[in-house]
């Protein structure tokens, strides 16, 4: 199931996290690098934020993307149809939150990327986490700073120190990969 009320949940979450910290919109803007105008639209549920915007907001709050947009599961068994899904409106990146627990520093995310599509993440995304990507199907090019890694099905890549990163599908078919995130 693709979460169809994600924008509303994000709007509520941004406001709640700002209020909890006593931050003005300007403070969140400074810490996230997202304009006050865009943050205001997101908070009023008038804009669908891209993954880049969500990552910047989550990082400003000291959270991973999963922590920010997905409430942790309290159940050991989470059926396939219960696993939260989200699609980036710009890149088409689709992500399924397989595992996240407040009691466990590990997260698992399944992601798919259409042929020719790419998605970029700022270095700040990786400040609070360690990541490993395991390519399940297709091809995936990952640019991590100056390092370029071309993955084929079965390959895995452990990320180095935080760097601006881009995931790109250079193939002719959708690629599917698993991201293991360890919160530090």
Kindly report the number of other CB atoms within 10 A of residue 134's CB atom.
Answer: 15
Which one has a higher pLDDT value, 86 or 40?
A: 40
Q: What is the mean pLDDT of residues 6-32?
A: 89
This prediction has a pTM of 0.77
Q: What is the mean pLDDT of residues 6-20?
A: 86
Q: What is the mean pLDDT of residues 157-163?
A: 95
Q: Domains in the chain, please, with CATH?
A: 6-69 (1.10.260.40), 80-183 (2.60.120.10)
Residue 1 pLDDT > 70: no
Q: What is the mean pLDDT of residues 41-56?
A: 88
Given this model, what pLDDT does residue 77 score?
79
Task: Provide the pLDDT confidence category of residue 73 given band limits of 50, 70 and 90.
Answer: low
């Amino acid at each position: 199931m693709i979460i169809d009320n994600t924008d509303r949940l994000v709007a509520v979450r941004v406001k709640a996290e700002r209020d909890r910290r006593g931050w003005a919109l300007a403070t969140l803007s400074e810490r996230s690098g997202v304009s006050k105008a865009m943050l205001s639209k997101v908070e009023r549920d008038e804009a669908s934020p891209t993954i880049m915007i969500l990552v910047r907001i989550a990082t400003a709050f000291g959270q991973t993307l999963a922590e920010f947009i997905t409430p942790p599961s309290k159940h050991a068994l989470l059926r396939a149809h219960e696993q939260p899904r989200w699609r980036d409106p710009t890149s088409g990146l689709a992500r399924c939150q397989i595992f996240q627990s407040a009691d466990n520093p590990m997260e698992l995310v399944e992601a798919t990327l259409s042929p020719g599509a790419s998605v970029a993440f700022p270095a700040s995304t990786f400040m609070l986490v360690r990541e490993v990507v395991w390519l399940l199907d297709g091809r995936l090019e990952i640019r991590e700073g100056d390092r370029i890694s071309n993955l084929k099905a079965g390959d895995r890549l452990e990320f180095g120190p935080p760097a601006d990163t881009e995931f790109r599908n250079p193939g002719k078919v959708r690629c599917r990969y698993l991201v293991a995130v360890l919160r530090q």
